Amino acid sequence: MIDLHMHSTCSDGSDAPATLPALGAQIKLRAMALTDHDTLSGVSEFLDACRRHRITGFSGIELSVEVSSGTLHMLGYGMDPAHAALKSGLEQVLQGRVTRNTQILERLHALNLPVSWDEVTACAGGDVVGRLHFARALVARRYVADVHEAFDKYLAKGKPAYVNRFRLTPEFGIRLIRDAGGVPVLAHPFTWEPNAELLEIKLVEMRDFGLWGIEAYYPEHDGERTMACLRMAKKLGLAITGGTDYHGIAKQGLKLGTALGGFSVPDELLPSLLAAIPSRAGVVEGRV
């Protein structure tokens, strides 16, 4: 069993990077990848823990990239965390988050929902502060009952406290991952385009930019969508990955490795991922 999509306290998860491999060892995961949003800050700690627990570990990231409709997230696996161009690109993205966070704070105050920056960062605990942390601060202040209400009323796209932010283009995001020695994979493809026929057309363009694979195994995919991803991947010459998108307590009931139960990512996907990464700067190889 492998899990190639998870988050730590360095973005919007509740477990420290070093804790994730310990949890993975308990359930006998063979391979893991830390894919925090727009940051590699937890990767070194994560890989060290993978080494201790003899689990194959990949440096990873989940980039938000700009598209005209839908939501497109790009996963990267096996990048060299010290790669200069990658670090520079991520700095641009993080600066865009800083600008947006200031504006969200201002909008919440204008809505008579005053929260302080210290309260928001206390809900984050890591380098990346996002809308989830504002939502948690609103819950702590009892302005809303839970995180879902915070998004539904204030923070979701189109709601009064939502602010767009700088994102990389898909082509640039793919190039950053490739240049740093990694492989780019489209995360949860149907959040970008729910229509399978249109998704296939869009995937052709992403493939031509250098996309390596798509995340076919994902907890929110039913059998039909998983099979659609598998068919498209075979037709377009793309690889397959999968993961739970584990966040810890931020996504209640979503378990590492098995998601909501009855879900798993086949071990058979691991050799092709290892073979596709030319460098081992972002890879720790565990038990064979």
The answer to whether residue 197 sits within a structural domain is yes
DSSP assigned state of 1: -
Length of the chain: 288
- 20 and 64 co-located in one domain: yes
- 110 and 232 co-located in one domain: no
Give the Cβ contact number of residue 174 at 10 Å. 27
Q: Concatenate the DSSP letters of all residues of 248-284 into one string.
A: GGGSTT-BTTTBTTT--B-GGGHHHHHHH---STTEE
The answer to whether residue 198 sits within a structural domain is yes
* Contact (CB, 8 A) for 34 and 20: yes
| Average pLDDT value over all residues in the chain | 92
CATH of the domain at 123: 1.10.150
The answer to whether residue 162 sits within a structural domain is no
**pTM for this structure?**
0.87
- 142 and 234 co-located in one domain: no
- pLDDT, residue 125, reads 66
- pLDDT, residue 251, reads 78
- pLDDT, residue 142, reads 93
- 57 and 120 co-located in one domain: no
Q: State the pLDDT confidence band at 55, using cuts at 50, 70 and 90.
A: very high
Answer yes or no: is pLDDT of 138 > 90. yes
Of all residues in the chain, the percent with pLDDT exceeding 70 is 98
pLDDT digits (tens, 9 = 90+) for 163-187: 887 788 999 999 999 999 999 999 9
pLDDT digits (tens, 9 = 90+) for 7-20: 999 988 889 999 99
CATH of the domain at 11: 3.20.20.140
- 198 and 95 co-located in one domain: no
* Contact (CB, 8 A) for 210 and 74: no
The answer to whether residue 101 sits within a structural domain is yes
pLDDT digits (tens, 9 = 90+) for 214-267: 999 999 999 999 999 999 999 999 999 999 999 988 777 789 999 887 899 999
Domain endpoint, select from 101, 129, 155:
155
3-state secondary structure of 203: helix
- 279 and 255 co-located in one domain: yes
pLDDT digits (tens, 9 = 90+) for 85-107: 999 999 888 888 888 899 999 99
The answer to whether residue 13 sits within a structural domain is yes
Answer yes or no: is pLDDT of 1 > 80. yes
- pLDDT, residue 95, reads 85
Question: Residue 82 carries which side chain, given as an amino acid letter?
Answer: A
- 67 and 178 co-located in one domain: yes
- 145 and 250 co-located in one domain: no
- 180 and 280 co-located in one domain: yes
What CA–CA distance (Å, rounded) separates 196 from 190? 8
The answer to whether residue 164 sits within a structural domain is no
- Provide the domain limits for residue 108: 90-155
- pLDDT, average across residues 31-58: 96
Structure tokens at 47: 């890989």
58-62, 71-75, 261-265: segment of lowest average pLDDT? 261-265
- 69 and 119 co-located in one domain: no
How many folded domains does the chain comprise?
Answer: 2
- 30 and 104 co-located in one domain: no
- pLDDT, average across residues 136-158: 92
The answer to whether residue 165 sits within a structural domain is no
The answer to whether residue 124 sits within a structural domain is yes
- 141 and 100 co-located in one domain: yes
Structure tokens at 127: 């380098």
